[in-house]
Amino acid sequence: MPEPILKLEEVSKTYRTKGSMFGGRAAGLVKALQCVSLEVLKGEIFGLVGESGSGKTTAGRLIVKLESPESGRVLLNGEVLSTLRGRRLKAYRRRVQMIFQDPYQSLNPQLSIYESVVEPITIHRLAAGRERMERVLSMIQTVGLSPPESFVNRYPHQLSGGQRQRVAIARAMVLEPDFVVADEPTSMLDASYSAKIFNIILEMRKRFGITILFITHSLAAARYLCDRIAVIYRGHLMEVGTAAEVIHHPLHPYTRALIDALPKFGLAEQIPRYNTLLEEERAGVEAVGCPFFMRCRKAHRTQCGREVPGLEPVGPGRFVACFFPGNGGGAGGKGS
Amino acid sequence: MNARTAGTGNRNSEAEDLLEVEDLSVGYRTKRGFMRAVDGISFSLKKGRSLGLVGESGCGKTTVGMTLMGLLPPNGEVRGGRILFKGEDLVQKTEEEMQRLRWNEIAMIFQAAMNALNPVQRVEKQIAEAILTHAPDLPEEEALRRVEGLFQMVNLPGERMHDYPHQYSGGMKQRAIIAMALACNPDLIIADEPTTALDVIVQHQILEEIKALQDDLGISLIFISHDISIVADVSHDIGVMYAGQLVEYGSREEVFGDPRHYYTRALLASYPTLAGEKRDLVPIPGETPSLVAPPSGCRFCDRCDAAAEACSLERPDWLEISPTHRVLCARCLSS
């Protein structure tokens, strides 16, 4: 069994929002992550799957130390992130890299491709002169921009979105990191181009043995890339397990609702539905319990509405945060 | 011309064609020359049917939608072909005539529709205004009553009519946009990536909504998206576009069940799904060709597994696989 390389221990993060000037919203708190614990094993691709606003990007930003947790700890190889200073922090910034969602914004438009990819090497003083040049060229080749010589002098605006994302990957990988956070790296690209990026990520893992946290809204992409996945909803982890288990035998009503909602290539009639999603949110109740209570068809009024279910083991390597995992649930199909 | 004969090939069925696009070519004047965004495409759409146009960005699918609406930007130009809508050629119509048709008979749900609502006007007012512009004699109360009906139709709670757009969630805004498209009872709706920015669950609800409305109201629909799985879910017929051309056209079952064009096959092989065994995804190699100086032969041949020498030289002909299924490929029968 491989060891965990990354650990989140009861991590919470809250953002303060400004109120809107015209009375729509009052100033308030957005709980992006609530007491999230998870382990990513060395060498695996771990998928964090959730909708927008679920907290998945916040988790990624905490790991690369673009944000700090409000409570709880993030550990990489046993080192607590919040204690890193000076040289150890700089080393951390080399070992952990992030690939951002939007390659149109993550590359500096004024830097040529060579300048973009060489910059991290220069900052971390990893190589100089000829060796530096060779590293850059070989990395550009590795991400499939071939021949690399024909790309190094171009600028981002001369590349397609998919090519830019490959440059962003090269820029992250050129530091030979241990851990990479890939935040929806294909959501701005055409579906047909995504496969290319997926395969580059798989190739990177194979060649460099890196560990990857793959953040996505797409269960299909997670199935293709990931060994294990965690489903996140409103800052809570709902279900963790191997990608195959979670997708083919989902236990949490929310995971089931996600799977029901996926396009079925016009075969919807032939595929049985879980039907765990309420058409409309529950009315007249306050949601203090399970984060999915308001939309869950299977919820038990008293228990699910009042208590937050913890992420409990239900099998080897399998965790679900639900009082009634996998079965029909408490109150059954009644709406409210 | 081949395209023309193929385009009118399935005329013998009972329902009448609402829309017939014949050999349509559209392009844009750019600094680098004339970009042939749409090059000789033909298709037809019957009343109450839905057609999904699918392809990568830059394949011309949005240009088709904009041309049908008569909303090309100033540097855009129709270079040939006809768009017969209820038997009348839209290409020949003046801007004034198009204005009368637009929204009344052909409506569009735009890409990034979330930003298409006016932020400083109540939603009911915006939709009522759309109705009143096209029926100036209607009393305002009557228009507001219609808005109420539209809200019901798209499953928006009636009490939210008086809200401003920023008080809506993304899904609600999209429903409001659909309500606006339905406001004047159009016969044809063009939906261009209507769910791209939405989360899976909301996307599913909106797609179900569109399908149900289309069934109930007998509206014809052109659904434009780069996402084959979504297109497959809402469309009766599928048109696959590549580099400005239609390359495969047929019923959903034929195109996705028995794809013949190598581009259609490549698209399907590159797409991750949850169904069936997990398989390796095969990316499509290379990049799309320039549309300023497109290749003279098959436009996909640089990226095609099966391309022979002749493919890059000769313009391929349409091949009829069945009366409702055709392919623009010289080698699609050879394997």
Question: Residues A90, A84: contact at Cβ < 8 Å?
Answer: no
Q: Which residue of A has its CA nearest to B236?
A: A266
Instruction: Output the average pLDDT for chain A.
Output: 90
**What is the rounded average pLDDT of the residues A61-66?**
95
Window 138-167 of A: residues touching B by CB (8 A cutoff) are 160, 163
Q: Which residue of B has its CA nearest to A145?
A: B286
The predicted complex's ipTM stands at 0.85
Distance CA B128, CA B115 (A): 18
Distance CA A222, CA A143 (A): 20
Q: For B2-105+186-328, CATH number?
A: 3.40.50.300
User: Which of residues A9 and B174 earns the better pLDDT score?
Assistant: A9
Contact state of B200 with A258 under an 8 Å Cβ cutoff: yes
Nearest-CB residue to A191 (from B167, B203, B226)? B226
pLDDT, tens digit, 9 for 90 and up, residues A104-155: 899 999 999 999 999 999 999 999 999 999 999 999 999 999 899 999 999 9
Name the amino acid, one letter, at A84: L
Nearest CA to B182 among B230, B140, B208, B218? B218
**What is the rounded average pLDDT of the residues B82-105?**
94
Chain B within 8 Å of A274 (Cβ-Cβ)?
no
pLDDT of residue B334: 66
Strand B245-251 to strand B325-328: parallel, antiparallel, or no bridges (unpaired)? antiparallel
pLDDT of residue A26: 59
Two tokens, residue A319: 């965790």
User: Which of residues B205 and A301 earns the better pLDDT score?
Assistant: B205
* Domain residue spans of chain B: 2-105+186-328
Residues of B in contact with A219 (CB under 8 A): 274
User: Which of residues A300 and A336 earns the better pLDDT score?
Assistant: A300
> Cβ atoms within 10 A of the Cβ of A316, count?
8
* pLDDT at residue B75 greater than cutoff 50: yes
User: Which of residues B83 and B154 earns the better pLDDT score?
Assistant: B83
* DSSP string for A271-293: SPP---B-SS---S----S-TTG
Distance CA A27, CA A20 (A): 7
Instruction: Output the average pLDDT for chain B.
Output: 89
* pLDDT at residue B285 greater than cutoff 90: no
Tell me what percent of the residues of chain B surpass a pLDDT of 70: 94
Residues of A in contact with B122 (CB under 8 A): none
Contact state of B272 with A199 under an 8 Å Cβ cutoff: no
> Cβ atoms within 10 A of the Cβ of A144, count?
18
Chain A within 8 Å of B71 (Cβ-Cβ)?
no
Contact state of B227 with A262 under an 8 Å Cβ cutoff: no
Local confidence band at A188 (pLDDT 50, 70, 90 cut-offs) = confident
Lowest mean pLDDT among A134-138, B197-201, B261-265: B197-201
Nearest-CB residue to B232 (from A191, A220, A266)? A266
Residues of A in contact with B233 (CB under 8 A): 263-266, 268
Question: Residues B148, B158: contact at Cβ < 8 Å?
Answer: yes
Query: Given phi > 0 = left and psi -120 to 50 = alpha, else beta, which region is A288?
Result: alpha
* pLDDT at residue B13 greater than cutoff 80: no
Distance from CA of B87 to the nearest CA of A (A): 31
Q: Which residue of A has its CA nearest to B253?
A: A266
Local confidence band at B8 (pLDDT 50, 70, 90 cut-offs) = very low
Give me the half-sphere count of Cα atoms (radius 13 Å) on the Cβ side of residue B94. Answer: 2
Distance from CA of B202 to the nearest CA of A (A): 8
Supply the DSSP symbol for B286.
S
Supply the DSSP symbol for A3.
P
Go through B55-71 and write b for each residue having 16 or more CB atoms within 10 A of its CB, e for each that does not: bbebbbbbbbbbbbbbe
Q: Where are the alpha helices (DSSP H) in A143-281?
A: 161-173, 191-208, 219-225, 243-248, 253-261
pLDDT of residue A179: 97
Chain A within 8 Å of B306 (Cβ-Cβ)?
no
What are the residues whose beta carbons fall under 8 Å from the beta carbon of B145, sequence distance 6 or more?
Answer: none
Q: Which residue of B has its CA nearest to A25?
A: B167
Distance from CA of A78 to the nearest CA of B (A): 35
pLDDT of residue A27: 65
User: Which of residues A25 and B89 earns the better pLDDT score?
Assistant: B89
Q: Which of B200, B226, B282 to mutate to test the interface with A (most CBs of A within 10 A)?
A: B200
Contact state of B166 with A24 under an 8 Å Cβ cutoff: yes
Q: What are phi and psi of B307, to 5 degrees?
A: -65, 135
Nearest CA to A327 among A299, A294, A295, A293? A299
User: Which of residues B79 and A23 earns the better pLDDT score?
Assistant: B79
Two tokens, residue B248: 């495969």
* pLDDT at residue B9 greater than cutoff 50: no
* pLDDT at residue A330 greater than cutoff 50: no
* pLDDT at residue A302 greater than cutoff 60: yes
- Domains detected in chain A: 4-233 (3.40.50.300), 249-320 (no CATH)
pLDDT of residue B307: 86
- Unique residue bearing structure tokens 């993304």: B170
Contact state of B266 with A261 under an 8 Å Cβ cutoff: no
- Unique residue bearing structure tokens 């979670």: A246
Q: What are phi and psi of A226, to 5 degrees?
A: -100, 150
Distance from CA of A68 to the nearest CA of B (A): 27
Residues of A in contact with B166 (CB under 8 A): 20, 24
Q: Which residue of A has its CA nearest to B59?
A: A190
Contact state of B275 with A267 under an 8 Å Cβ cutoff: yes
Chain B within 8 Å of A267 (Cβ-Cβ)?
yes
Nearest-CB residue to B200 (from A24, A199, A261)? A261
A-B CB pairs within 8 A amount to 102
pLDDT, tens digit, 9 for 90 and up, residues A219-262: 999 999 999 999 999 999 999 999 999 999 999 999 999 999 99
- Unique residue bearing structure tokens 């996505």: A216
Chain B within 8 Å of A202 (Cβ-Cβ)?
no
pLDDT of residue A24: 53
Q: Which helix (H) or strand (E) holds A202?
A: helix A191-208
What are the residues whose beta carbons fall under 8 Å from the beta carbon of A50, sequence distance 6 or more?
Answer: A56, A217, A231, A232, A233
Window 188-227 of B: residues touching A by CB (8 A cutoff) are 199-201, 203-205, 207, 226-227
Residues of B in contact with A214 (CB under 8 A): none
Residues of A in contact with B287 (CB under 8 A): 160, 163
Contact state of A223 with B272 under an 8 Å Cβ cutoff: yes
pLDDT, tens digit, 9 for 90 and up, residues B321-332: 999 999 999 888
pLDDT of residue A252: 96
* pLDDT at residue A333 greater than cutoff 90: no
Q: Which residue of B has its CA nearest to A200?
A: B283
**What is the rounded average pLDDT of the residues B105-119?**
83
Distance CA B300, CA B290 (A): 12
Chain A within 8 Å of B112 (Cβ-Cβ)?
no
Distance from CA of B88 to the nearest CA of A (A): 33
Supply the DSSP symbol for A19.
P
Q: Is the peptide bond before B73 cis (omega within 30 degrees of 0)?
A: no
Local confidence band at A327 (pLDDT 50, 70, 90 cut-offs) = low
Residues of A in contact with B119 (CB under 8 A): none
